[in-house]
Chain A
Amino acid sequence: MDFNDTAEEAAFRKEVRTWLEANATRKSDDKQSFRARNDDPELLKKAKEWQDKKAKAGYARITWPKEFGGRGASPILQVIYQQEEANYLVPLGFFDIGLGMCIPTMMAYAKPEQLARYVKPALHGQEVWCQLFSEPAAGSDVAGIRTKAERVGDSWVINGQKVWTSGAHYCDYGIVITRTDPNVPKHAGLTMFFLDMKTPGVEVRPIKQISGGANFNEVFFTDVRIPDSQRLGKVGEGWKAALTTLMNERLAVGLPSGGLDIDELMELARDTDLEDGPAIRNQQVRGRIAEWYVQQQGLKLTRYRTLTALSKGQTPGPESSIIKIVAAPKMQDMGAFAMELMGHAGIMKEDVPHAAGFQAQWIGGAGFRIAGGTDEILRNIVAERVLGLPADIRVDKDVPFNKLTRT
């Protein structure tokens, strides 16, 4: 057992380091992040420039086929690139959905001339993509969407509303799942399209989150007309296309990096004076620190097990399905606990060391437990796909969508 690179990996890592050293600024410490809030237009501009640089050097999407600007290389090299890039102060996070989910869906369903038109600008950061799936009445049960697309001649007319659409306010294109046939059960009546976010009738309204940021949006469709050529997959086979997208989402969701963790919690516990002395000497505090450390290490090492499979050219086991189930509540609970150590001042947004960082975890954790699959849905997935337990009984499975009782 070891954490070492193979010869090929080591050579690639060296090449990546050399390139990053020449093209980006190294972080002074590993807590620095450029991710910050992605509702900042300046940051978006910088992110686009960085993405273009990466794409030109062949680092933007290492696993993609060469014809699409990738290297046709193993996922382990993609991971190595990301590990190295994480040491540099570069703006990230704007293209993950587009390149991780939307474009792979396009690759599966769009026509060659469409791919020739859209893949390259997306890869180079010139055009940003979003995914228009969730709706006010369809979150975890995304097949329950109501946004309608009706065929009119050679076009489709879309009416309805999407929600939680990350980045829609700066995105140029999106993939959208619609209901084209309400007379059949819900999964059977869906169709997927892509569209220009500037098409008349598309209106984006940012949603202010409890964190104060506004990374996601409501998107309203009012008589939005798009040509049939923008359909992805067959009419009525939108669910199959959506699964392609969501499968890529599962690959895209990784561990949140940066942010405060055990080291800062221990520092805080050392500096906090409780009734019986420094908090770090208190057995309850020590117990919690130990539990979160074990989780943090467990996640990191579980990821290493997955990387081992990738490095050997094998399909990883299901172990990475635990990552978000553990990471999200840990973020929320550890943030709350750290704030408790600060006493009443833990609520203050200024002048209390580490307060802002742990508050951000406590707030962010609440969102992270929902985004990209709730804690509950992820447990269902583990139970069904890993343990082979039965899927939930779906009372709406065979009922035409327009005959469903809604309460």
Chain B
Amino acid sequence: MNFDFSDDQKLLKEQVRKFLADKCPTKVVRRVLDGNETHADDVWKGLVDLGVPGIGIPEEYGGSGLSPLEVCVVAEEIGRAAAPVPFDTSVVLATEALKLAGSDAQKKKFLTDLASGQAIGTLAIAEGPQPPKPRNIRTLFGGGRLNGKKVPVTDGEAATFAIVLANTGGAGDRALSLVLVDLKQTAVAKKRVETIDPARKHAELTFKDTSAELLGGEGEGWRLLERLYDAAAVYFAFAQVGGAEAAMWMARDYALQRQAFGRAIGSYQAIKHKLADCYVKLELARSNAYYGAMMLTEGGADLAVAAAAARIAATEAYDFAAKENIQTHGGIGFTWEADTQFHYRRSRLMALSIGGPMAWKDKLVTRLEQKNAA
């Protein structure tokens, strides 16, 4: 039985943790939240120097060619710090999409730039209200030109390229394709949109005859997206576990310090049991996330089920820890000056950005039905 990370992986995790504790304390999260910068570029550059963007990228494209397990331990630390950097977008979604569906030429160009930190990628799926699905994607791609509007796009301003879900004219879910688009060209209009998590900037991207190219086969977009989301669900789960753990300890530290009715509030069972429940959900999430990581690394047949379970458990753990952290703090926890807001905001962003728990629960049961039938 070897259901744990290796010593080397734990060392990497510790290294990233120390770096973020030093360079990305909560005041940096607050700086981005309150300010105009698209992301904490100082932190991001430091992560690039550590080789973080290239961890999971094959050596032939300038990365270190490590396994998903190494990306997972880094994700947990990014989540713990609620770091305002394009990790989920660029290191997870864009990188994985290229690894999954990129042609040799696309990989050579984009993965190499991602690994070196010259490029930041993102994924552009949603088009305003309504969860995206094959029948409501209106962005069109044909003849090498992209037309339409995507909103919200995480890191839409910071990103140098985007992978866009677009309609290419087929029937049903074959109508959709993934499209690679350079965001540095003038035929892309970027407008910042306000969201519940201003520590991660979001944009509306408008494409007008914008030059673009297919990523993966025409009509394969919806299926590729589902596979991409399975991998992303595992990495997101680690980030959520890290965030949940941070929120839990923040609540615990405050509960030890805050006095009410003559004693620390952490001595009351109402608080103790709530925080014990945070721990219970956290460990369920961690265990499910580990299995997701194992399946992702092995390319195991159980990935579809494991990824969904990790996603559901981690979303629940992070949501719960983030909201009960505010509750444990009482009034001060509801103020702008308190650090509690960072995880509350991030937990909701992460819960929604690759499909919410309701959709993943439905997906999980569908996959269990398929597994049982097989």
Interface residues, chain A, CB within 8 Å of chain B?
1-5, 9, 76, 262-263, 266, 280, 283, 286-287, 289-291, 293-295, 297-299, 301-302, 304-305, 307-312, 319, 322, 325-326, 376, 378-380, 382-384, 386-393
Contacts and interface: CB of A to CB of B under 8 A. Distances in A.
B268 to A, nearest CB: 9
Interface in B1-38: 1-5
A386 B279 contact: yes
A266 B280 contact: no
B47 to A, nearest CB: 25
B287 interface: yes
A262 B252 contact: no
A94 B283 CA distance: 32
A293 B306 CA distance: 11
Interface in B264-280: 264, 266-267, 269, 271-273, 275-277, 279-280
B274 to A, nearest CB: 9
Given A302-B283, A305-B4, A308-B2, A389 B272 contact: yes
Task: Please report whether the interface of chain B is mostly helix, strand, loop or mixed according to DSSP.
Answer: helix
Contacts of A322: 279-280, 283-284
Given A294-B288, A297-B309, A298-B287, A1 B272 contact: no
Contact of B1 (A3, A283, A302, A383): A3
22 contacts: A2-B3, A2-B294, A76-B1, A280-B369, A290-B360, A290-B364, A294-B312, A294-B316, A295-B284, A298-B309, A301-B290, A305-B290, A308-B1, A312-B2, A322-B284, A326-B284, A376-B273, A380-B272, A380-B273, A383-B273, A387-B276, A389-B271
A386 B248 CA distance: 12
Nearest to B366: A286
Contacts of B361: 286-287, 290-291
B4 A383 contact: no
Given A1-B5, A294-B313, 13 more contacts: A287-B362, A290-B312, A290-B360, A290-B361, A290-B365, A294-B364, A297-B291, A298-B285, A301-B3, A305-B290, A376-B269, A386-B276, A387-B248
A374 B173 CA distance: 51
Interface of B: 1-5, 69, 248, 252, 255-256, 263-264, 266-267, 269, 271-273, 275-277, 279-280, 283-288, 290-291, 293-294, 297, 308-309, 312-313, 316, 358, 360-362, 364-365, 368-369, 372
Contacts of A379: 269, 272-273, 276-277
A390 B267 contact: yes
A306 to B, nearest CB: 9
Nearest to A378: B276
A294 B267 contact: no
B1 A319 contact: no
Given A263-B372, A266-B372, A1 B276 contact: no
A304 B252 contact: no
A390 B264 contact: yes
Contacts of B372: 263, 266
Give 9 closest A-B pairs by Cβ, nearest first: A298-B284, A383-B272, A290-B361, A301-B287, A379-B276, A382-B276, A390-B267, A1-B294, A389-B266
A245 B364 CA distance: 42
Given A298-B287, A326-B284, A389 B364 contact: no
A308 B368 contact: no
Nearest to A9: B1
